[in-house]
Each structure stands twice: as C-alpha cells, then as structure tokens.
Structure 1
Amino acid sequence: MKPKSAQVIGIDLGGTAIKLGLFEADGSCNQSLTVATPQPATPEALLAAILNAISQIAAPVESWAAIGVGLPGPVDGTGRISQVAINLENWRDVPLADWLEEKTQKPVIMANDANCAGLGEAWLGAGRNFDNLIMLTLGTGVGGAIILNRQLFVGHRGAAGELGLITLNPDGPPCNSGNQGSLEQYVSVQAIRRETGNKPSDLAQKAIAGDSQALAYWEEYGRRLGAGLA
C-alpha cells in the first residue's frame, strides 16, 4: 500500500478570525476549523489561541509534518518574523515562527496572507491558467498579491503587494499604516462597519431584500473598489 503523504497545517491569521486546515501535498483539505481572534489581539493571546486550535484539528502529532502561517502584514525575508500587522495589537517584529516551533516541535514557515492566497490561486485556483495576475483580499483589512511570470513579486522590501494601502483619497480617514485615505479605509470590513453600522453579511441581506440605502451603499462600495483596482 502506498504510504499516506505527510500532512501540513495551514493557518490564516486575521484580525477577526483564525482559520486552520489540515492539508495533503496536492492541496486537498482533510479538516478545517475557524476560531475567533482574541481581542485585544496581542502576540501572546494569538499564540495561545493558535496552539489551542491546532490541538483540535491535528491530533495525533505524528500525523502532520509542518506548519505554514499567513499573516496580515509583511514577513521578513527568512519567513521567521512578522514585522508588522496593522490590524493586530502591539504587533511589531514578532518571532511567531520560533514560538510555534518551540511549542510544537515542528518546522514553521510564515508569509504575508495575501501572498499565500495569491500563490494558492495561481497554483490551484482562478489564476491557474494565467502567467500574470493581481489579487486583492477583502477582509478586516485589505491585502494584495502580485504574480509575474508565475512567480510571486514582493519587491525589495517584501511589501510590493500591500495594495490596500494605496491612497484612494488623500483627505480620507487615517489608516493604521500611517497613510491617509487608503483603499483599506473604504472597502474593508472595518470601513463598512464604520460607515453603516452593519456587518457586511447583514448589509448584503438588506440589499438582496431590496433595501434602497443598502443598494446605494454597495454601488458606492463598488465604485471605490473599481477606482482602487484601476
């Protein structure tokens, strides 16, 4: 009998939720779990939440081989240190890979979450038939990934794909990045809540039901997103 391929754990660390999956080498997911991101989202609180979530989907420990983590912000060139995550609390130069390796005794690699998503789309998803693509992730914040000639492009400082931080309106709301009126301040979950008092899912249901204010808001949202993409 052919031995079962070694599974790996993939973790998507976000400002609202932590999503985990147990994956085969071909990308198929055997098990998944979503837990709420602790608030405030300090490094110590997130480490504890990640370890607890891993224990729920990845026992016994012999059944998996490594951990990959996608983070909402740039990671250093070694894939060991999360340099900054603007929607997490006190998050500067956090050696999360070292912490996880110490606790799990498994190898860990980290990367920007949108870059991970972009590579996934280029490998198995909507971008698999294209050599070049740009992807935007819309969530608690707004991230992006750039694939050129089927290779991830990150720029000389690793942050070339931070498309959510482009300036959409120089007189707009301040961004945690230090920018003013960035795209993230108009099309993220936080922006929708700030401007409407609704969760995106609730506002979507209102629009589906024909609510004129909800429909007008989504039209304006689409106009802003289109301007940012352009």
Structure 2
Amino acid sequence: MEKNIVAVDIGATKIHIGIVRGSHIVKEVKFPTNAGTSKEDIVNNLIRGIESLEVKDFQGIGIGVPGLVDEKQGIVYDLVNIASWKEVHLKKYLQDHFHKPVRITNDANVFALGEKIFGQGSRFQNIVGITMGTGFGTGIIANNRLYSGSFSSAGELGSIPYLDATIEDYCSGKFFKNQYQISGKEVFERAEEGDKLCRDILNEFGKQLGNAVKILLFILSPEAIFLGGSVSRSFKYFEDELQKSISTFPFKKVLNKLVLQPSEMSNVAILGAAALIVSELSEEKISAPKVKKEIIS
C-alpha cells in the first residue's frame, strides 16, 4: 500500500503544501508566505498548514526552497525575498514537532529530482532540469542521484557572467523585462495571437538559451535536459532557434543523443519535494548493511 509524503514548496509570495501518495496529490493547501514577518511566524504558519491537512501517517516531509541549504543539517540560508530567513534551522523545527524525517534542498534541485522520479527523466541516468521564471535555476541528476554540491548550490549557471550581464538576465523572464520592457506572459500571449514582434523576441530568447545549454553540455554532458518554469510554456516559439544555436556544439555524438524538451509534469514543485523523501528512503535501502548470520555450533 502506497504511503503518504508531505511535500512543501516555499516561495516568496505563497507556501504550497501537498500530501502525495504514489504520484498523485491527494490533498493540498496554499496560503500567503507573509514574507515580511519573523522567521518563527513563517515556520509556525508552515506547521499549522501541514496540520490542517489532517494526515496522521506519513513517511516524511520534503521541502523545496529558493535559497542555500545545508542539506545534512537542514538549515536554510538567505532565502530569496524572505528577509527574515537568513538562517533557519527548519529541519530541526519540523522534526522536533512531527517526529518524521525532513529533507530540504534548493527548488531547482527539486524540479530535477521530480522529473527523475516521477517524469520523463526516469529512463536516463544523467539529466539536467532548468527552471526559467523570474530567475534561472539548474538541478543536476548524475548517475541516478541528485548532485547538489555545497549548500545545495551546484549548477547555479544563471550567475555566470554573459554578454553585459549574466546568463539569468538573458535566459529567464528578466530577458523580456530588461531588453523589451514587456513581461514573458504578455510575449507568449501576443505570440499566440500571431504577433510577429513577439515571435521574433522569443526567437532571440531561444538563441540565448542555446548558448547557455552549450555551456551545460561542455560541463555536464547530460543525456537529457528538461525545461520548466513559466517561460518554458513558450517552447514551441523558441524551439527552432534554440536547436539552431546548440547545433554549433562541436561534440556531435553528444548532441545527437541529447533529449531536450519541456517538462510534461504538472505540480512539479510538490511532486519534486515528495521525491526528496522517495529518494532518501531508496538510498537507505541501498546502503543498509547486510547482516551476516553466524552459525553457532
């Protein structure tokens, strides 16, 4: 019988909590983060949110956050747009209260792991998940395991200097705001209506994203790259230029094998957070020592 997992997505404006059973969200609740309040108030609201779902038996709590994480200790540092979360011992708070395992990582890692456990990434050993919304995040699965590096910050490709700014400035929603003073949402909507200028803007975006993908290919050489976040909904409008851009990558055998596509998962943040617990339990089973039985004569 499939057991429940509590999955949490903490964002700057809202907290989303779901009860995941198998690959389905069976209960969920969303409420404002109240980012201007104290860290204790936000943690207490999180606890009350979990309790409101009235799940008595669950395997653990998986959490994705947009910031740095000491994954072993479960300490969250410098959470984006939540000023009071400079250092929050979130794992200890929740484990002391619920007496269940808690695992926390960066939200881009959650996306990649969710794609690996529940999505199209299950058939690959090495994948990268790219999230493109207000920012640009990258999660890495290497040899079937999440690789998060020091403080859950591996793969922060968006901070690499690029042209006159950074990769994030050219490969996320910031590109549309900074270069054309328009939101990514409006560009997509107008492209859907046949607006040539907006389709040209998305073509340019595809070219820039292709340059970022080539850097990933040189460093990580994944078998598959999955795109998520709000900007990925425009994929059909920037796909051609994206493919044209990456076609200049010199290692053709790597390129010919590469799968590059938008994620087909809905509620990826919640399913990905649940995947943290699924992954941890699987690792425990794999690493559990075998006890040799001794015959006493």
Q: Structure 1 length as normaliser, TM-score?
A: 0.77
1:114 corresponds, among 103, 108, 114, to 108
Query: Does structure 2 conserve the Cα–Cα contact (< 8 Å) formed by 1:73 and 1:85?
Result: yes
Contact 1:115/1:161, CA 8 A, preserved across alignment = no
1:125 aligns with 2:119: yes
The answer to whether the aligner puts 1:66 opposite 2:60 as a matched pair is: yes
Q: Rate the CA distance shift 1:32–1:201 in 2: closer, same or farther, 3 A.
A: farther
Structure 2 residues not aligned, in runs of 5+: 215-297
Deviations 1:120-177 (A, max 9, x none): 21122121111111111122322111112112223355422222222223x32xxxxx
C-alpha distance in 2 between matches for 1:72 and 1:34: 17
Q: Secondary structure at the match of 2:56?
A: helix
Could you give the per-residue CA deviations for residues 98-137 of structure 1, whole angstroms, max 9, x where no partner exists?
Answer: 3334555544221122212212211221211111111111
Instruction: Report the residue type matching 1:111 in the other structure.
Output: T
Rg bigger for which structure? 2
Question: Aligned partner of 1:185: which letter?
Answer: D
Instruction: Name 2:188's counterpart in structure 1.
Output: 204
Residue 28 of structure 2 corresponds to 32
Report what 2:170 is aligned to. 186
Aligned mates of 1:42, 1:205 — CA distance in 2: 38
**Preserved contact between residue 82 and residue 94 of structure 1 (Cα < 8 Å):** yes
Count of aligned positions: 214
Aligned equivalents of 1:124, 1:42: Cα separation in 2:
35
Partner residue, 2:211: 227
Root-mean-square deviation over aligned CA pairs: 2.8
Instruction: Report what 1:10 is aligned to.
Output: 7
**Cα distance change on mapping 1:34 and 1:212 into 2, 3 Å:** farther
Indicate if the aligned counterparts of 1:80 and 1:98 stay in contact, CA closer than 8 A. Answer: yes
Higher RCO (C-alpha under 8 Å, 6+ residues apart): 2
Please, which of 155, 163, 166 is the counterpart of residue 160 of structure 2?
A: 166
Q: Find the partner of 2:145 among 151, 158, 165.
A: 151
Q: What CA distance in whole angstroms lies between the structure 2 residues aligned with 1:108 and 1:42?
A: 22
The TM-score, its normalising length taken from structure 2, stands at 0.61
Pairing 1:93–2:87 present: yes
Q: How far apart are residue 200 of structure 1 and its match?
A: 2.8
d(CA) in 2 for partners of 1:196, 1:16: 25
The answer to whether the Cα contact below 8 Å between 1:7 and 1:22 also exists between their aligned partners in 2 is: yes
Q: For 2:205, give the aligned amino acid.
A: Y
Q: Is the 8 A contact 2:16 2:30 kept in 1?
A: yes
Q: What is the rounded CA distance, in whole Å, between the counterparts of 2:202 and 2:67 in structure 1?
A: 27
Distance 1:35 1:225, change over 3 A: farther
Whether contact under 8 Å (2:74, 2:90) holds in the other structure is: yes
Stretches (4+) displaced over 6 A: none
Structure 1: tracts of 5 or more residues without a match: 173-181
Q: Confirm or deny: 8 A CA contact 1:71 1:85 kept in the other structure.
A: yes
- State the percentage of identical aligned residues: 29
Cross-structure match for 1:135: 129
From the two aligned structures, give the one with the greater helix fraction. Answer: 2
